Structure 1
Amino acid sequence: MSDIMLNPVIPSPCYVCEESKLEHNLQIMERVQREAGVDIILALKGFAMWSTFDLVGKYLKGCTASSVWEAKLAKFEMGKEVHAFSPAYKPADMDELLNLVNHISFNSLGQWQRYKEQVLGRGISAGIRLNPEHREAETELYDPSAPGSRLGIRVADLAGADLSGIEGFHVHNLCECDSYATERTLLAVEKRFAKWLPSIKWLNLGGGHLMTKKGYNLQHLIDTLIQFKQRHPHIHIILEPGSAVAWQTGSLVSEVVDIVENEGQIAILDISATGHMPDVLEMPYRPMVTGAGEPGEKAFDYKLGGNSCLAGDVIDTYSFDHKLAVGERVIFEDMIHYTMVKTTFFNGVEHPAIGIIRTTGEFELIREFNYQDFRNRLS
């Protein structure tokens, strides 16, 4: 964690992306592309900070979008390849998407048949999403291969289908997984969908490849992809990570607004778990706090709570070496991916600003939010 996070020039609350760390992650991904001969694109559902797209676009091939608005963001802010997947497209979606995308994947055979004639002849490569019925994600909420999943076509439902016009398969069943999960997934795809592999041009392995995490076996990922390509030299591989792009690239700066007592000390912050870091409650998970430890590990325990009226707007209990004071900053680490993209204006709580620490060490405030932003989302 950079000491600059404590610099008073940075407002509170604020998401702060560190440009040098983002570029380091992108360089790792560029190595995978180069050595494995694959394409990596940014999944906007995980990281859509378009003020960094000039940098991201220097390394990655483009973006993948799950909606018309994301596709527009990819097209107009990065200007490289745009791939799309959605659980279901409305006719109005299709009218707009076909002017924005290079690749489009369909979640069901019914959707493909409905829009097939619109897609064909436009130079857009079409694919379908498969459900490999192979589970790797630890959290059920994020497991597309869980029983009863609405995502992807099972092999039993593909039998006898007319796939004329389909050029690729889209498989996404990972969530912050290692390279061995990728290898097992590829083997599952080969086992279940072997009869169709000779007829496709590309295989999109989705996201969840946490290749920028410390300890990730990058060489194993590269070797796994190369070996698959040796077995299927006609298939081009695409990866679309979200978390891995922005992994450990920045933090959420907050400060203590009040301290109350109820079976222990409770520090109320100027951020909201439900509004500004919802995965803390949804997964749930415990974010790292700079300088803090587990309960009882250090001298002073504090439950950290948000500033909304939701009773459950609580992050967790942390211990500190000193007593917290009103106005003191609390820094939540690794808060750039799957945070800004999921925020709300719930309860009218002040929305965190967005800033970048440039490679020069200087802080640049990119965006602040105000009452008009809150008002304009309502009617």
Structure 2
Amino acid sequence: MKNEIVNSIKDLPSPAFVCEEELLKKNLELLKKVQDESKVKILLALKGFALWSTFDLCKQYLHGCCASGLHEAVLAKEEFGKEVHTYSPAFKDDEIDEIIDISNHLVFNSFNQLNQFRKKAKSKTSIGLRINPEYSSVEVDLYNPCGAYSRLGITRGNFQEDNLEDVEGLHFHALCEQNVDALEGALSNFEEKFGEFLPQMKWVNFGGGHHITRNDYDVEGLINLLKDFKNRYPHLEVYLEPGEAVGWQTGYLVATVLDIVENQMSIAILDTSAEAHMPDTLAMPYRADIRNSGLANIKKYTYRLAGNTCLAGDIIGDYSFDEPLKIGDKIILEDMIHYTMVKTTTFNGIKLPSIVIQNSQGCYQIVNKFGYNAYKSRLS
């Protein structure tokens, strides 16, 4: 039942994403500290964290949302209700009017798109351009917005400095889950290549990828960097738009062992899926942290944890445990709230994980459950 309250993790539907409200609040408080001390505005990047049942909390701390297209912009308008900043690699004719009406800032990826939609947009929203500072520090090509042949943003060599009428802001995004030193490098390149245009702008957006809420992030270094930039350009409104930093370490995916099969090793089949429910574990790839586990063969009992789809490679990874796993045991995959939740699919018709919020009193509120209709409605 949707919005049902339960008191124990053992009573939750499985699989389920569980967001811990107190941990989310802790992240938001840190982001507000950055805002207050550096006098910048931080937006929630919906591409990384779109758990709108938490927006009543989030909007107490953040200034709005950044959207990647029409549907995210509508969600931001309906559920967050503050500033909406929209960027897409390319906007469509049949969506642009509604996007313009919703968006406080509208960022174009090319001069072609600016020329196509400028007349419609200029009187209703603040127009910006995404630029590419050509600073590449992201190691995984899949997530590198400034890598070779990137389609994201305008390079200095393609920048039309005589075509900036009605353009009020510049946006760059060069990071992926990185520390302030990466921002420092990107910002240096940005100012070197595009600094001459900043006096005529009203705002600048430093994009996302700032891992501000990670334990080893240099928060004071970020505040000082932002203050220095604001001192150089006091007329500019400065925005950051993290996604993962909002949802970082705020919750987990709980799953259940359905079966254990043997083929040269013990394989535990779960009611979740790497392919359908946590695709970044395969795409990046990265090793998910599992509560009370170790690397293979470190603890006494080692298992390969596998998803419940027909994909041969639907493998979460090899983990060891102090006690043998049993059918019906719960497995808790840590830090699965940011990015993971928004990328789920119904591949194989597998059921989407339920969505749960654990409140400050420790109770679990089941805010959404998915069944057959979630699968059927995506098809025809």
Using structure 2 for the length normalisation, give the TM-score. 0.97
- Name the residue aligned to 1:57: 59
**Following superposition of structure 1 onto structure 2, how do residues 178-217 of structure 1 map, counting pairs within 5 Å?**
178-217=179-218
- Name the residue aligned to 1:111: 113
2:60 alignment partner, SS class: helix
- Name the residue aligned to 1:173: 174
| CA positional deviation for 1:10 | 1.6
Deviations 1:233-253 (A, max 9, x none): 112110000000000000000
| CA positional deviation for 1:138 | 2.0
Deviations 1:279-304 (A, max 9, x none): 00111100100000011111111111
- Name the residue aligned to 1:242: 243
Assess if the C-alpha contact under 8 Å between 1:289 and 1:330 holds in 2: yes
Assess if the C-alpha contact under 8 Å between 1:14 and 1:355 holds in 2: yes
- Name the residue aligned to 1:232: 233
| CA positional deviation for 1:192 | 1.1
2:112 alignment partner, SS class: helix
For 1:109, the aligned partner's letter is: F
2:217 alignment partner, SS class: coil
- Name the residue aligned to 1:368: 369
| CA positional deviation for 1:231 | 1.3
- Name the residue aligned to 2:140: 139
Distance 2:105 2:206 in 1: 14
Deviations 1:236-281 (A, max 9, x none): 1100000000000000000100111112111100001110001001
**Shift in alpha-carbon separation, 1:5–1:230, aligned structure 2, 3 A:** farther
| CA positional deviation for 1:318 | 0.6
Pair 1:88 & 2:55 matched: no
Assess if the C-alpha contact under 8 Å between 1:6 and 1:329 holds in 2: no
**Shift in alpha-carbon separation, 1:131–1:45, aligned structure 2, 3 A:** same
| CA positional deviation for 1:161 | 3.6
| CA positional deviation for 1:198 | 1.4
Distance 1:258 1:33 in 2: 49
Pair 1:305 & 2:306 matched: yes
Assess if the C-alpha contact under 8 Å between 1:5 and 1:253 holds in 2: no
2:228 alignment partner, SS class: helix
Distance 2:74 2:277 in 1: 24
Q: CA RMSD in A?
A: 1.2
Distance 1:99 1:152 in 2: 23
Task: Give the ranges of 4+ consecutive aligned residues of structure 1 lying more than 4 Å apart after TM superposition.
Answer: none
| CA positional deviation for 1:154 | 0.3
| CA positional deviation for 1:351 | 1.4
Which stretches in structure 1 are left out of the alignment for 5+ residues? none
Assess if the C-alpha contact under 8 Å between 1:170 and 1:205 holds in 2: yes
- Name the residue aligned to 1:293: 294
More deviation, 228-237/313-322: 228-237
For 1:223, the aligned partner's letter is: N
1:186 alignment partner, SS class: helix
Deviations 1:78-126 (A, max 9, x none): 111000000000111211101111000000011001101001122x111
1:141 alignment partner, SS class: helix
- Name the residue aligned to 2:379: 378
Deviations 1:341-365 (A, max 9, x none): 0000110112110000001111101
Distance 1:136 1:259 in 2: 42
Q: Give 1:42's match in structure 2, choosing from 39, 44, 57.
A: 44
Pair 1:357 & 2:361 matched: no
Distance 1:254 1:39 in 2: 37
For 1:181, the aligned partner's letter is: A
Q: In the comparison of the two structures, how many residue pairs are matched?
A: 375
1:309 alignment partner, SS class: coil
Which stretches in structure 2 are left out of the alignment for 5+ residues? 1-5
Assess if the C-alpha contact under 8 Å between 2:7 and 2:362 holds in 1: no
Pair 1:265 & 2:266 matched: yes
Identical columns (%): 48
For 2:239, the aligned partner's letter is: I
1:296 alignment partner, SS class: coil
Assess if the C-alpha contact under 8 Å between 1:15 and 1:252 holds in 2: yes
1:203 alignment partner, SS class: strand
| CA positional deviation for 1:5 | 9.9
